[in-house]
Amino acid sequence: MARLMYTAPRLVESLKHLPPILVVGIAAIAGCGEQQPGGDSLSESEAGSLQLDSQPQLLGSVAAMSRADSCVDPTPDEPAWSNIKWGERQEDGSRIGTSRLAPALARDLDLVRWAGKYSLFAVATAGTFRADTIWGSLTLEVHADSSGALPLVGSARSQTDWPAYLTFLSEGKRDQPVVLYYQRHNRGEITLVLGNAVQASDVGVLFNVFNIDSLGMVGRWVDGGRKTLVDSTGRELGPAQGYFCLFRAGS
């Protein structure tokens, strides 16, 4: 039977090349490398079938797919692009993990221009039993202190229930908070955090932006929680992840 395991944080891990503000949930991803016996589980009917569909399964309006045709995976040859590469275990039991970096963005973006409404299209490419496709809406508004690293906040709503393998601070709700972080010290980086507006650890979905223009944003997403799907053979599938597009819908 397919199970959704909650792995315990047994290691003290540190990550290289990761902006400090993005430590949201990373300790949880570190735990995905080691399986802990027991834990909560989902049945196959809840977690999905054991076969990865050749075509994404749409979780939303079929009519909305016409616009999603223009959404392309920025890393088509690396479905598990967001996986952390772990080094050798140290004497104290810890390991050092290296995370991938999205392409550098401009460091002088006026992100107030990107406040507004968007259509969200996201596809799972690894860490799940099928290539789920999520369609929803997302709204970004100017934060009170727009001069800092936190210029935009808002919310996202899926047209159907969010997949159970995504980790949110308040699970079971169709509407989830969104926070956009913009790092521009050494290189421009934009990350949207879904489902965690208070920077609590082990929860939230990270949306790393690869490209941003007047039409919207495109990039890769990865779940930042402790959940990892385990198939019938006991093999862990790693963190749920995939690619996404945000299509500008209005101001």
| Two structure tokens written together for 71 | 């959404």
Q: Residue 9 — left, alpha, or beta (φ > 0 → left; ψ -120 to 50 → alpha)?
A: beta
Give the pLDDT of residue 19: 36
Give me the phi and psi of 47, to 5 degrees please: -85, -20
Give the pLDDT of residue 149: 58
Give the pLDDT of residue 63: 40
| Two structure tokens written together for 50 | 């054991």
Give the pLDDT of residue 184: 85
193, 206 contact by CB (below 8 A): yes
Give the pLDDT of residue 128: 86
Residue-by-residue pLDDT tens, the chain, 251 positions: 343 333 323 222 333 333 333 333 333 333 333 333 333 333 333 343 323 333 333 333 334 444 667 899 999 999 999 988 888 888 888 888 888 899 999 999 998 899 999 999 999 999 988 888 999 999 999 987 655 556 799 999 999 999 988 999 888 789 999 999 998 888 999 999 999 987 777 789 999 999 999 989 999 999 988 777 777 777 787 899 999 999 998 65
Q: Which pTM does this prediction carry?
A: 0.72
The angle subtended at Cα 66 by Cα 65 and Cα 68, nearest 5°, is: 60
The angle subtended at Cα 150 by Cα 149 and Cα 151, nearest 5°, is: 105
Handedness of CA 77, 79, 82, 88 (dihedral sign): negative
Give the pLDDT of residue 148: 56
163, 59 contact by CB (below 8 A): yes
